[in-house]
């Protein structure tokens, strides 16, 4: 069964190459033996895409979505709230004790919360939540 992403790539290529419908269907028939892209197998669809790339289609890489600064700010505020609820200060995250690596270094691999991206901050929030549960039982 042909997945939607391959079908979408074929239609994007058709549009990028400005192919008219009759030319497009003739190309499908000559390359894959079918007149409709929805009837293609995965192997046939890949052959069609390869042919379209030879004709000049250049697929674009999907743009990575960067998290908004507000996401980061919200996570930093949450870290502050978690630290306050546990009766700890910011140095708890960033300073290492004797024979101990700082929490930020151990979890994120950076020296300071200011160097953390959103994914790293989420890990720290989860670690502090786990720490809060552990100390609530004691």
Of residues 30, 48, 39, the one with CA closest to residue 1: 39
Q: What value does the mean pLDDT of the chain take?
A: 89
Q: For 59-88, what is each residue's pLDDT tens digit?
A: 887 777 765 678 889 999 999 999 999 999
Provide the whole-model pTM. 0.50
For residue 60, the model assigns a pLDDT of: 82
Half-sphere exposure of 50 (CA within 13 A, CB side): 8
């Amino acid at each position: 069964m042909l997945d939607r992403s391959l079908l979408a790539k074929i239609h994007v290529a058709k549009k990028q190459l400005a192919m008219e419908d009759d030319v497009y269907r003739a190309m499908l028939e000559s390359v894959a033996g079918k007149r409709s892209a929805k009837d293609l197998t995965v192997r046939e669809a890949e052959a069609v895409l390869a042919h379209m790339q030879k004709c000049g289609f250049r697929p674009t890489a999907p743009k990575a979505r960067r998290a908004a600064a507000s996401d980061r700010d919200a996570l930093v505020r949450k870290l502050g709230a978690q630290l306050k609820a546990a009766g700890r200060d910011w140095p708890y995250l960033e300073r290492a004790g004797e024979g101990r690596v700082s929490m930020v270094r151990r979890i994120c691999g950076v020296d300071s919360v200011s160097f953390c991206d959103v994914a790293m901050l989420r890990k720290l929030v989860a670690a502090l939540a786990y720490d809060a549960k552990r100390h609530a039982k004691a």
